[in-house]
A and B are shown apart, each in its own frame.
Chain A
Amino acid sequence: MPGEPVLAVDDLKTVFLTRHGVIKAVNGVSFAVEAGKTLGLVGESGCGKTVTSLSLLGLIEPPGKILSGEVRLNGYNLLSMSQKQLRQVRGKEISLVLQNPMTSLNPVLTVGTQIIETIISHERVSRAEARQRAFDLLTRVGLPYPEKLLKCYPFQLSGGMRQRAMIAMALALHPKVLIADEPTTALDVTVQAQILTELRRLQTEFNTAIILITHDLGVVAEMADEVAVMYAGSIVEYGGVIEVFENPGHPYTRALLRSVPRLDRKCETLEHIQGQPPSLLNIPDRCAFLPRCPVAVGECSGPRPRLEAVASKHMVACYQACKVRARELQPA
C-alpha cells in the first residue's frame, strides 16, 4: 500500500546571489519519499543535488537564499521554522551523511564523545545510557571492537570506518529521513559494497526513508526505489527505478545510461554527450539540455518544459518525450 510520504518537497527554489549574477542552483524541485523507501537523486556535479539536500535542512547560508518552496516533514514546513526549532529536527527527525567523513567529523573529539553528545543533546538520558547506545550503534554498523573505537579520534580510523561511524551517528536518534550525499564516492568498491549493504539493512530495521544523492548510476540501480534525475537545477525525469532505467524518457537520462561503461555488457564504442552542463548563472527559462540534445527540434526552444506524466509514476520534462508517449497512447 502506498503510504503517506514522510518527507515532501514542493517547488523548492534556492539561489546564490553573487557579484556576477543570480545562480539558480535549485530551480523548482519537487519530490517525496515514503518511510522505508529510497529516492535516488542523480546528476552530475553542479546540477544542484547537494544544494537541494542542504536546503532541506535549512543549511543554506548567505549569499545563498531559499526563494520559495515547502519542505513538509510530519506535517510541518521545515522552511518556515526558526533556527531553534530546526535544531530539534536536525539529527532527530532528519539527518545527513556527507561524502567526506573526515571533514564532517570533529577532528579533536573522539568518535564516542561525538555520538554521545548527539544523543544527549536531543534526549533526556544519562551519559552512561548514551554511551551504551553509542556502543550498540557502532556494533550495528558493522564496526569491530566498538569499545576501543569509542575512544578513537577520527584520524585513527580508515575511510570506510569513518563513514560507518558517520552513519552510526546519523542513525543514533532513529531519524525518519536520512540524506546520504555521495556516501560512498570516496571509498573503494569493496568497501562501498559493504556500506551499501549495511545502509539497506539499517533502513529495513529502522524503517528510515533515504534520500541517496549520487552521480553513480550503478549505486542508484542497486539502492533506489525511485529515481529523480537532475540537470542544471531541475528534475528532468522522475519515476520508479525500473521504469526509468528501462524506459528512460528524457534524452539526458538516455545519454547518461548509455555512457556508463559496464562489465556485464560488452560494447565496442560508448556514445558520449557532446559539450558540458551549462553554467547555472543566469540560466534562461527554456530547456537547459537543449544545446546538447540530440533530438531537439524547433519547438524545444520554447519555455522550460515541465514534468509531465508519461506513464504511471513516471514523469519527464521534455517536449519530445511527452509527444512520443502521446502518439503511443493514441488508438490506431
Chain B
Amino acid sequence: MSLLEVRGLIKHYQAGGGFFRATRERVRAVDGVSLSLDRGETLGLVGESGCGKSTLGKLIVRLEEPTAGKIFYNDREITSLSGENLRELRCKIQIIFQDPYSSLNPRQTVGSIIGEPLANFKVGAKEAQRQRVSELLETVGLDPEHISRYPHEFSGGQLQRINIARALALRPELIVCDEPVSSLDVSIRVQILNLLRELKRRFELSYIFISHDLAAVSYLADRIAVMYLGKIVEVLPTGDLVSGACHPYTRVLLAAVPVADPRQRYNRRVTVQGEPPNPASPPPGCRFHPRCPEARQACREKEPVLKEVGERHLVRCHLS
C-alpha cells in the first residue's frame, strides 16, 4: 500500500501579467504529475532549475493549491482538506527547505523555533515540551545547551540541523526535503545526508528528496523520478540509474555530472545543447525534443505517455 499517491497533479501560475501587459502567460510549473510513494521509501526527485520539482514538493505538503489533480495520503484524499483536518495532516507531513538561513526566524531562539510546533499542537505540558526540544537537539547532533541561542550564532550546517529538528518535532511520517544540502559545503553536505539516513532508519520515515544533484539523490533514494518542464519523464529504481536509464534526458543529465576522477575526463561528451525552454510555452510533442540528441519526426508531433518498460521503471519517450 502506498503512503502517498499523486494523480494528474497540475499547477499553473499566472505570470508576466502586470498592469501594462495585455496578455498573461500561464506558467505550467507542474503539468500532470502522477506518482506514488511507499511507506518507508525515499523517492528522489531530480531535474534542472525551473522543472517544477519544488512546486511539486509544496503541492504535496499542501503549501500550494493545485490547479487540478488529486493527492492521496494513506488512501485518503487530502487535496482539499481545510481547517482542523488540514492541521492534523501537518503533523504527518513536514518539509525542509533549501536555505537554512531564511527558513528560520532570526529573532526566535532555537528552543522556541523547535518548540513552536509543539506549542501550536499543545503536545504535553510546558516542561515536557522543553524536554522534547532538548531531546530533538540531541537527535540531530546539536548540543542541548544551545537551546537559548539565536540562529545567527550557528553555521549553515547547524542551521539545517535545526530545520530538521523542527520538522521532526511532531513525529511526522513523511518529510519532503527540498534541496536540503545544496547550499552547504562539501564536508557538511555528507554530514547532513548521513543524518537524514540515520533519522529515516530510527523513526521509520519516508522521504521525498528533491535535488538537482543526481549523485546526492542516488545516495539517499530508493527510486528516482526525473522531471523535465513540469512532467515526469522517467521513474526508476536507484540501482538501475547508471546502467538502465532509458530516457535521453536522464542520460544527458548523467553524462553532465562531473566525475571526481581526472582519468575519466576525456570519456565525456556534451550531449545536449541549450537550456530548458520557458515553461510558459513548452514545445509541442515531446517537451525535450528541441534539445534531444535522438529526436525524430514523431517526437515533434505527438506527446509521449509514461509507460512501463521494466519492473518499477516508467519512461515517457517514443523511442523506448
Cβ contact within 8 Å between B260 and A255: no
14 contacts between A and B (CB under 8 A): A189-B48, A197-B270, A216-B258, A222-B262, A260-B186, A262-B259, A263-B257, A264-B242, A264-B259, A264-B261, A272-B187, A273-B187, A276-B188, A277-B185
A190 interface residue, CB < 8 Å from B? yes
Cβ contact within 8 Å between B215 and A242: no
Encode contact with A along B181-221: 1 for CB under 8 Å, 0 otherwise.
00001111111011001000000000000001111101100
Cβ contact within 8 Å between A215 and B259: no
Given contacts A190-B253, A264-B242, contact A259 B261 (CB under 8 A): no
- Cα separation A220 to B261 with both chains bound (whole Å): 9
Complex partner residue of B218 from A158, A160, A161, A261, CB under 8 angstroms: A261
Complex partner residue of B260 from A44, A161, A192, A218, CB under 8 angstroms: A218
* Given A261-B215, A264-B242, 18 other A-B residues pairs in contact with their CB atoms under 8 A: A44-B186, A45-B185, A188-B212, A189-B253, A190-B253, A193-B258, A193-B268, A194-B272, A215-B186, A216-B258, A221-B265, A260-B215, A261-B193, A261-B218, A263-B241, A263-B254, A266-B239, A276-B188
Cβ contact within 8 Å between B258 and A222: yes
B102 interface residue, CB < 8 Å from A? no
Chain B residue at minimal CB-CB distance from A260: B260
In the bound complex, residues from chain B placing their C-beta under 8 Å from that of A158 are 275
- Cα separation A297 to B189 with both chains bound (whole Å): 27
Closest 4 CB pairs of A and B: A218-B258, A272-B190, A44-B185, A193-B256
Encode contact with B along A203-232: 1 for CB under 8 Å, 0 otherwise.
000000000000111111111100000000
- Cα separation A260 to B193 with both chains bound (whole Å): 11
In the bound complex, residues from chain A placing their C-beta under 8 Å from that of B272 are 190, 193-194
In the bound complex, residues from chain B placing their C-beta under 8 Å from that of A255 are 187
In the bound complex, residues from chain B placing their C-beta under 8 Å from that of A241 are 262
Cβ contact within 8 Å between B186 and A188: no
Cβ contact within 8 Å between A261 and B190: yes
Footprint of B on A, CB under 8 Å? 44-45, 158, 160-161, 188-194, 196-197, 215-224, 241-242, 245, 255-257, 259-264, 266, 269-274, 276-277
Cβ contact within 8 Å between A190 and B48: yes
A259 CB → nearest B CB, Å: 4
In the bound complex, residues from chain A placing their C-beta under 8 Å from that of B218 are 261, 263
Given contacts A45-B185, A193-B270, A259-B187, contact A218 B262 (CB under 8 A): no
Chain A residue at minimal CB-CB distance from B219: A261
- Cα separation A72 to B124 with both chains bound (whole Å): 67
Given contacts A261-B219, A263-B242, contact A188 B258 (CB under 8 A): no
In the bound complex, residues from chain B placing their C-beta under 8 Å from that of A245 are 260-262
Per the 8 Å Cβ criterion, residues 156-193 of B in contact with A are: 157-158, 185-191, 193
B80 interface residue, CB < 8 Å from A? no
- Cα separation A261 to B254 with both chains bound (whole Å): 13
Given contacts A193-B255, A221-B265, A270-B194, contact A188 B187 (CB under 8 A): no
Residues of B within 8 Å of A, CB-based: how many?
A: 45
In the bound complex, residues from chain A placing their C-beta under 8 Å from that of B194 are 269-270, 272
Cβ contact within 8 Å between B157 and A276: yes
B62 CB → nearest A CB, Å: 28
Cβ contact within 8 Å between B258 and A219: yes
B252 interface residue, CB < 8 Å from A? yes
Per the 8 Å Cβ criterion, residues 46-62 of B in contact with A are: 48-49
Given contacts A193-B256, A260-B186, contact A221 B261 (CB under 8 A): yes
A47 CB → nearest B CB, Å: 9
- Cα separation A259 to B255 with both chains bound (whole Å): 21
- Cα separation A167 to B183 with both chains bound (whole Å): 24
Cβ contact within 8 Å between B253 and A259: no
Given contacts A218-B259, A221-B259, contact A270 B219 (CB under 8 A): yes
Encode contact with A along B225-269: 1 for CB under 8 Å, 0 otherwise.
000000000000001011000000000111111111111110010
In the bound complex, residues from chain A placing their C-beta under 8 Å from that of B2 are none
Complex partner residue of B275 from A160, A262, A266, CB under 8 angstroms: A160
- Cα separation A71 to B265 with both chains bound (whole Å): 31
Chain B residue at minimal CB-CB distance from A259: B190
- Cα separation A274 to B294 with both chains bound (whole Å): 46
Chain A residue at minimal CB-CB distance from B216: A261
